[in-house]
Amino acid sequence: MTHAQRLAALRAELARLDVDGFLVPRSDEYLGEYVAPSGERLAWLSGFTGSAGMAVVLAGRAAIFTDGRYTTQVAQQTDAALWERRHLIDEPPHEWLRQHGAGLRVAYDPWVHTEAALARFSGVTLVPLTANPIDAVWADRPAPPAAPARVHAAQFSGREAVAKREDAAAELRRDGHAAAVLADPHSIAWLLNIRGADLANTPLALGFAVLRDDASVQLFMPPAKLPAEVRTHLGNAVDVADRATLPAALGALRGKRVRCDADATPAWFARTLRDAGAEPVVGDDPCRMPRATKNAVEQQGARDAHARDAVAMARFLAWFAREAPGGGLTEISAAEQLLAFRREVALFQGESFPAISGAGPNGAIVHYRASAETNRAIHPNECYLIDSGGQYQDGTTDITRTLWSGPGAAPESLRERYTRVLQGHIALGTARFPKGVAGPHLDALARRPLWDAGLDYDHGTGHGVGSFLSVHEGPAAFSRAAKNVALVAGMILSDEPGFYLPGAYGIRIENLLLVRDATPRADQAKPFLEFETLTLAPYCRALIATALLTAAERAWINAYHARVRDTVAPHCDATTREWLFAETAPC
């Protein structure tokens, strides 16, 4: 079917359902960053494949809403004759509907919106449906992913699931909550010490769960997804049933208070609880903070995974240094070589996200992904940005390095900007701060050297990272837009300032940092925290303008490079080792 036919088919279905319109968010029922192919309804309907957006379909008109990242992409991918293009922030769907749909009955699938998102709509009657009408007309819709779940061994998790369930249940009892809906598969994975393969880059088994205040769990996923050893691992306190049993399970909570996380729970849950006479109450997912604060085993796992990932990275950087000056590389071939090196690393399970591989001006497109159409050669004497990562059973990595292809010297202005980014990256990574300080309070440390020159970057400075879970994990982040969540020992966050000159180049330098207690100093009246750098890869010698560095910054770089050399070189082949020694020589 063409997109025009798909839209017409949807409209016919809406007419059959006696509603005037329908909301099509990008999300599926897991409300996450990555969506399984079976949930890509917005893309199927409109052609738009960006990672955020919403469409609103009325009988006579339809609009698609995207943010600034996707203005060009949505114009290229959607048919202007079918879709008005609107800016998601400047003219959000609820305002557009207030103007163009006043008084209409607009349907929605309660599985793919939070209650908070729906509460923004006014002037229309929102009509919940029991099935998504797109599914009725999407004839060749893929089946939901059904990869088997697997046990996440104690040597990686560091804590038995029964202890995690007990802690979370105690929190529920303290608040008078009889149960909590766990609508985030990352929380379910962490709580039950299971993993899966339902998404390309995050090892999740997709499903829902209800945790009860006696620490028992009802897990809602197709029982066929759980092999015998996983069932045994889950134990007697965890029941497994198909999602179809959810309404009855929630009905058993009549008269009880049930915690639902406002940001992560489909509206379907609160509605169904109310219909059953239960009382949904807004409260944090009890797993969110515990999984953000890695235990000692997870912390060591992160170190180990990074040390091994560093070997792949060193091999790649050495390979790039040999191959790039002669031309012949492309964005895709380089990213594939790095992936090939990662595949040879022990416990590697796949990429943590599709690599961002941007040469020359493509590096300035912050969310660039090389495709067959856009794939660009990596020319000699230009800037190349590679942002990539791996999922390992003991940890998740995410690293960005910006390279100079050579063989000539890099221009002075590029080196100055690279060095300012590096100085900000170092300023953040070396920060010591008291408890209570949150990510937004440290963001300026990474930006200061750029701000001093009137420069900036239009993305956050860093995000949390999971332990063989999501590469983008809340609740903490180095971002002025993020909530003020105090940094706590055990959190892992990225430190990734950048600078982008459209049409010319992009610079980003990213390490992952582990929060830890700092050794007390004289007259220190309170406990301090600091960061341990997990990532071990050299910075680009050719791009550092050493004259701009302070003595302290130079000393830090040299000490870091020595640590990289000492940790990584012993595990590399001779050629890589030779390159590593040259690249990490004191500057």
> Beta-carbon neighbour count of residue 162 at 10 Å?
14
Q: Please, where are the H alpha helices in 452-499? A: none
Is residue 355 within 8 A of residue 387, CB to CB? The reply is yes
The helix-helix angle for 439-451 and 412-429 (nearest 10°) equals 160
Asked if 217 interacts with its own copies (CB under 8 A), we say no
Q: What is the DSSP string of 205-262?
A: ---EEEEETTS-EEEES-GGGS-HHHHHHH-TTEEEE-GGGHHHHHHTTTTSEEEE-T
Asked if 517 interacts with its own copies (CB under 8 A), we say no
Among 132, 134, 108, smallest CA distance to 120 is for: 108
Asked if 174 interacts with its own copies (CB under 8 A), we say no
Asked if 522 interacts with its own copies (CB under 8 A), we say yes
Asked if 432 interacts with its own copies (CB under 8 A), we say yes
Residue (85 or 441) nearer to its own copies, CB:
441
Query: x/- binding map, residues 442-481, to its own copies, per CB under 8 A?
Result: xxxx-xx--xxxxxx-----------------------x-
Tell me whether strands 208-212 and 505-508 are parallel, antiparallel or unpaired.
Answer: unpaired
Q: What is the DSSP string of 363-378?
A: GGSTT----TTT--EE
CB of 486 to its own copies, least distance (A): 10
Radius of gyration of the chain (CA): 25
Residue of the chain from 43, 437, 489, 548 that contacts its own copies (CB under 8 A): 437
Residue (517 or 573) nearer to its own copies, CB:
517
Asked if 436 interacts with its own copies (CB under 8 A), we say yes
CB of 282 to its own copies, least distance (A): 16
CB of 453 to its own copies, least distance (A): 6
Site stretch for its own copies (CB under 8 A), options 187-195, 352-360, 377-385, 432-440: 432-440
Q: Tell me how many residues contact its own copies (CB under 8 A).
A: 34
Asked if 440 interacts with its own copies (CB under 8 A), we say yes
Asked if 438 interacts with its own copies (CB under 8 A), we say yes
Residue (53 or 506) nearer to its own copies, CB:
506
Asked if 521 interacts with its own copies (CB under 8 A), we say yes
The helix-helix angle for 551-568 and 574-583 (nearest 10°) equals 170
Report helix, strand or coil for 462. Answer: strand
Asked if 484 interacts with its own copies (CB under 8 A), we say yes
Q: For residues 165 and 333, give the distance between their C-alpha atoms in angstroms, rounded to a whole number.
A: 45
Residue in the structure block whose two tokens are 């990869």: 147
Tokens matching residue 121 = 């709509």
Residue of the chain from 520, 581, 585, 586 that contacts its own copies (CB under 8 A): 520
Asked if 431 interacts with its own copies (CB under 8 A), we say yes
Is residue 453 within 8 A of residue 443, CB to CB? The reply is no
Report helix, strand or coil for 362. Answer: helix
Site stretch for its own copies (CB under 8 A), options 33-41, 214-222, 524-532, 539-547: 524-532
Residue (353 or 418) nearer to its own copies, CB:
418
Q: For residues 484 and 475, give the distance between their C-alpha atoms in angstroms, rounded to a whole number.
A: 9
Is residue 105 within 8 A of residue 129, CB to CB? The reply is no
CB of 528 to its own copies, least distance (A): 6
Asked if 232 interacts with its own copies (CB under 8 A), we say no
Asked if 547 interacts with its own copies (CB under 8 A), we say no
Asked if 332 interacts with its own copies (CB under 8 A), we say no
CB of 456 to its own copies, least distance (A): 5
Site stretch for its own copies (CB under 8 A), options 360-368, 490-498, 519-527, 579-587: 519-527
Asked if 524 interacts with its own copies (CB under 8 A), we say yes
Is residue 398 within 8 A of residue 354, CB to CB? The reply is no
Residue (184 or 443) nearer to its own copies, CB:
443
Report helix, strand or coil for 114. Answer: strand
Residue in the structure block whose two tokens are 């009725």: 136
Would you tell me which residues interact with its own copies (CB under 8 A)?
431-434, 436-438, 440-445, 447-448, 451-456, 480, 484, 501, 518, 520-526, 528, 550
